[in-house]
Chains A and B, each alone.
Chain A
Amino acid sequence: MDVLDVQILKLLPGDSEVLQKILNVFLRSSEELMVSMENGVEEHDLDQVALAAHTLKSSSAMVGAMDLSRLCKEIEAMIQKDELSGLEVMVQEARQSRLLVEGECQSRYLK
Chain B
Amino acid sequence: MERRMPIKGNIQKAGLETIILIDDDPVSRLVMSESLHEAGFSVIETNNGHDGLSIFIEQQPALILVDLQMPGMDGYTFCKSVRSVPQGQDIPIVVVTGLDDVESIERAYDCGATDFIIKPIRWSVFRHRIQYILRSSKAMQSAQRSSNLLAEAQRVAKLGNWTWDLDNQKLFVSEESYRIFGVPRVDPGVFHKLLLNSVDKDDKNGFDIAVQKASDGETLDYAFQARLPNGETKTILMHLDSSTEHLEPDHRIFGTIQDITEQRKAEESIRQLAYYDSITGLPNRDLFKEHLSMALHQAERNKEKIAVMFLDLDNFKRVNDSLGHEAGDRLLKTISERLDESLRSTDLAARDMGDMNSSLARLGGDEFTVMLSGLHGIEHVEMIGQRILERIAEPIMLSGNRVCVSSSIGVAIYPEDGEDLDTLLRNADAAMYEVKSQGRNGVFFYDNVLRQQSHDRVQLESELHTAIEEDQLTLFYQPKVDAETCQVLGFEALIRWIHPERGMVSPIDFIPVAEESGLIIPMGAWVIKTACRQYQAWRKLTDSEFSVSVNLSAHQFADEHLLTTIRDILLETEMPAQYLEFEITETVLMQDADTAMRILDQMKVMGLKVSIDDFGTGYSSISYLKHFPADVLKIDRAFVKDLPHDEQDATITNAIILLAKALNMGLVAEGVETEAQLQWMREKGCDQIQGYLFSPPVPPEKAGAMLDKPFSLADDV
Contacts and interface: CB of A to CB of B under 8 A. Distances in A.
B71 A51 contact: yes
Interface string A44-88: 000010010011011101110000000001000000000000000
B503 interface: no
A25 B123 contact: no
Interface string B640-684: 000000000000000000000000000000000000000000000
A55 B120 contact: no
Contacts of B27: 22, 25-26, 29-30, 59, 62-63
A88 B100 CA distance: 23
B98 A29 contact: no
Nearest to B35: A13
Contacts of B37: 13
Interface string A1-32: 00000001001111000100110011011100
A99 to B, nearest CB: 18
B6 to A, nearest CB: 15
A78 to B, nearest CB: 14
A25 B28 CA distance: 10
Given A12-B123, A48-B1, A62-B121, A55 B31 contact: no
A62 B120 contact: yes
A18 B32 CA distance: 12
Contacts of A25: 26-27, 30
Contacts of A57: 98
Identify the interface centre among A12, A18, A25, A59: most chain B CB within 10 Å of its CB: A59
A36 interface: yes
Identify the interface centre among B27, B30, B121, B122: most chain A CB within 10 Å of its CB: B27
A73 to B, nearest CB: 8
B574 interface: no
A11 B123 contact: yes
B202 interface: no
Interface in B109-164: 119-124
Given A36-B1, A59-B25, A14 B71 contact: no
A20 B633 CA distance: 141
A13 B26 contact: no
A104 B118 CA distance: 27
A107 B35 CA distance: 26
B144 to A, nearest CB: 33
A62 B24 CA distance: 14
Nearest to A39: B1
Interface in B1-47: 1, 24-28, 30-31, 34-35, 37-38
A22 B30 contact: yes
A96 B383 CA distance: 121
A105 B234 CA distance: 78
A12 B100 CA distance: 22
Contacts of A62: 27-28, 31, 119-121
A11 B124 contact: yes
B31 A12 contact: yes
B69 A29 contact: no
Given A18-B34, A22-B30, A26-B27, A58 B119 contact: yes
Given A13-B35, A13-B38, A14-B34, A59 B28 contact: yes
Contacts of A11: 122-124
B493 to A, nearest CB: 138
Identify the interface centre among A28, A30, A58, A63: most chain B CB within 10 Å of its CB: A58
Contact of A58 (B1, B28, B35, B123): B28
Contact of A61 (B24, B71, B120): B120
B251 to A, nearest CB: 56
A54 B69 contact: yes
A48 B2 CA distance: 11
Contacts of B30: 21-22, 25
Identify the interface centre among A30, A36, A51, A55: most chain B CB within 10 Å of its CB: A55
Contacts of A48: 1
A61 B1 contact: no
B383 to A, nearest CB: 101
Nearest to B120: A61
Nearest to A26: B27
A73 B25 CA distance: 16
Nearest to B126: A13
B31 A22 contact: yes
B31 A29 contact: no
Contacts of B71: 51
A85 to B, nearest CB: 23
Contacts of A12: 31, 34, 123
A58 B98 contact: yes
B28 A51 contact: no
Nearest to A36: B1
Nearest to A73: B100
A25 B25 CA distance: 10
A19 B210 CA distance: 73
A60 B27 CA distance: 8
B394 to A, nearest CB: 99
A21 B31 CA distance: 10
Contacts of A36: 1
Nearest to B36: A13
Contact of B25 (A18, A21, A58): A58
Given A12-B31, A25-B27, A55 B69 contact: yes
A11 B120 CA distance: 12
A72 B675 CA distance: 146
Contacts of B28: 58-59, 62
A37 to B, nearest CB: 12
Nearest to B38: A13
Nearest to A63: B27
A57 B1 CA distance: 18
Contacts of B24: 55
A8 to B, nearest CB: 8
Given A21-B30, A22-B30, A48-B1, A55 B25 contact: yes
A61 B27 CA distance: 10
Interface of A: 8, 11-14, 18, 21-22, 25-26, 28-30, 36, 48, 51, 54-55, 57-59, 61-63, 73
Given A13-B38, A25-B27, A62-B120, 6 more contacts: A13-B35, A13-B37, A25-B26, A28-B26, A58-B28, A58-B98
16 contacts: A12-B31, A12-B123, A13-B31, A13-B34, A22-B31, A25-B26, A25-B27, A29-B25, A51-B71, A58-B120, A59-B27, A61-B119, A62-B28, A62-B31, A62-B119, A62-B121
Which 9 pairs between the two chains have the least Cβ-Cβ distance? A59-B27, A13-B35, A13-B34, A14-B34, A59-B25, A58-B119, A61-B120, A26-B27, A29-B26
